[in-house]
Amino acid sequence: MIAILDFGGQYTRLIARRLRELGVYTEILPPDVSAERLRGLQPGGLVLSGGPASIYDQGAPRADPGILGLGVPVLGICYGMHWLAQQEGGVVERAQQQEYGKAELTSYGGDLFQGIEGEFVAWMSHGDSVVQLPQGYAVSAATRDTPVAAFERPAARRYGVQFHPEVVHTPKGTQVLDNFASLAGLQRDWNNDQILDRLIAEVRERVGSDRVLLAVSGGVDSSALALLLARAIGPQLTAVLVDHGLLRLGEREQVEASLSALKVPLVTVDARETFLRALAGVSDPEQKRKIIGREFIAAFSQEARLRGPFRYLAQGTLYPDVIESAGGAGSSGIKSHHNVGGLPEDLDFELLEPFRHLFKDEVRELAALLGLPDTLRLRHPFPGPGLAVRVLGEVTAERLDLARRTDDIFISALREFGLYDQVWQALTVLTDLRSVGVMGDHRTYSYTVALRAVTSVDGMTADWARLPDDFLNTVANRIVSQVHQINRVVYDISTKPPSTIEWE
């Protein structure tokens, strides 16, 4: 296997995912894992991840220097490259020309670039750069602004890249990782069947004879988890759908019908009034998420008392949720998620999150193995806090109704035009902006709705979807014609990063 030392980078799990796609088993470990422990794991290679810190920051994460004595190939990415360079006697300084986004390699070669030809576009995100190579190292790639975009010491099988080969915006980056795996001489025998078998075994071992309460939303994550747990522990599972009033149009009925067809026993809790009262007057998005998380736990605690006892609360938490909530060592917080880090200290359950280390597309692949129909498996992601984070400002019944109706118009039109499966996620955002308009020769002063549609593989990075002009025109006309409180529709053309997919 390849051990990945996590220096807190947002893309660390993506490195693992790319290598797993190449058939290589990976494990992610904290940056200060001891060389002794690593030696016991017998890795075939080490990857040092990127991270938000500068190598010179006080408290910046450090690795045990002894890891370089294990005699296995080492690949440093971004911050990991800086640590490797400094450890080996090189010099890292604040770059005069910092790079963020796409950059083209003006030259490249060496072990990591074997078999790669033509233009090489790389995704950069760094403020520091290697300005003096360690002894025995040679430059293997450069860009216009970064003379040392990659280096290598082939005799010791040590390599570093300033760019991020793991993201989709580095199109040939997977070949770089493939070359590194080949240099390590590793077997390529990791696959979805093994992942599924491992998850089932881990659930059975941890749960034993105890009972599990599952939070169901109807999306692919919780639906796949329901099937996984049903296969692993059978009657020990109780699935609960909390209708918090933040669902999309007709969603509660769709979820109940879908899970019933899959023979998953489901209990529905009507908590719409409770959630709306708790959110009254709240505009701050972080506070919304915390309140929703609190009310979720309260609802499940009550249900557990009625139907319990339960030892575990299962959630379909994915790794992008974790890292955006700063759930990884040294990572930088972006936004909290209702199911990550917002649970009370006196929680009556132990959390069970089998998908915590997986990405959306990995869960979809597992869902196919579990027999989940494509109507659920390929459904667009929907945030746990629901429409509350798609209504900017205060959440009221009236404003939720506007968000629900505009969302239905947008999603229905995507299906009608055959575009639904061409985008990774689509949504509408009811902004708290009002503007002047004219309807039927009368002045209006109404809300603005933003349309958002992105293409992505895993949700870690995303590009805005180039939807046809006639489609956008149709959607905009339908929204202002059918939802009279809306008089302006805009289309969001931001990428992730720097933006997130959801607005809140």
Residues 234 and 226: their CA atoms lie apart, in Å, by: 10
Asked if 484 is an active-site residue, the reply is no
Catalytic residue among 82, 126, 164, 357: 164
The rounded radius of gyration (Å) of the Cα atoms in the chain is 24
**Cβ–Cβ < 8 Å for 84, 151:** no
Catalytic residue among 166, 353, 362, 502: 166
CA distances from 274 to 207, 245, 292 (A): 31, 9, 10
| pLDDT for position 327 | 45
Q: Which CATH architecture has domain 2-184?
A: 3-Layer(aba) Sandwich (3.40)
Q: Which CATH architecture has domain 397-491?
A: 2-Layer Sandwich (3.30)
Residues 273 and 256: their CA atoms lie apart, in Å, by: 20
| pLDDT for position 344 | 52
| pLDDT for position 337 | 47
Q: Which CATH architecture has domain 192-377?
A: 3-Layer(aba) Sandwich (3.40)
Summarised one tens digit per residue, pLDDT across range 129-167 is 899 999 999 999 999 889 999 999 999 999 999 999 998
Cis upstream peptide for 497 (omega within 30°): yes
The least confident of 72-81, 122-131, 241-250, 338-347 is 338-347
Does 207 or 254 have the greater pLDDT score? 207
The least confident of 204-218, 343-357, 402-416, 442-456 is 343-357
Asked if 337 is an active-site residue, the reply is no
| pLDDT for position 477 | 97
Asked if 166 is an active-site residue, the reply is yes
Statement: residue 503 has pLDDT above 70:
yes
What are the domain boundaries of the chain?
Answer: 2-184, 192-377, 397-491
Catalytic residue among 78, 152, 353, 362: 78
Q: What is the mean pLDDT of the chain?
A: 89
| pLDDT for position 347 | 61
User: In the chain, pLDDT over 70 holds for what percent of residues?
Assistant: 93
Statement: residue 339 has pLDDT above 70:
no
Select from 232, 241, 246, 252 the least CA-distant residue to 213: 241
Select from 76, 77, 54 the least CA-distant residue to 128: 54
Exposed, middle or buried by CB within 10 Å (0-12, 13-18, 19+), for 496?
Answer: middle
- Which bin fits 451, alpha (ψ -120 to 50), beta or left (φ > 0)? beta
Statement: residue 338 has pLDDT above 70:
no
Q: How many angstroms from the chain centroid is the CA of residue 97?
A: 29
Tokens of 459: 């949700």
Same fold, 2-184 and 397-491: no
According to DSSP, the β-strands at 312-314 and 212-216 are parallel
The least confident of 92-96, 248-252, 492-496 is 92-96
Summarised one tens digit per residue, pLDDT across range 404-447 is 999 999 999 999 999 999 999 999 999 999 999 887 767 888 99
Give alpha helix (H) positions in 88-150: none
Does 180 or 383 have the greater pLDDT score? 180
| pLDDT for position 342 | 45
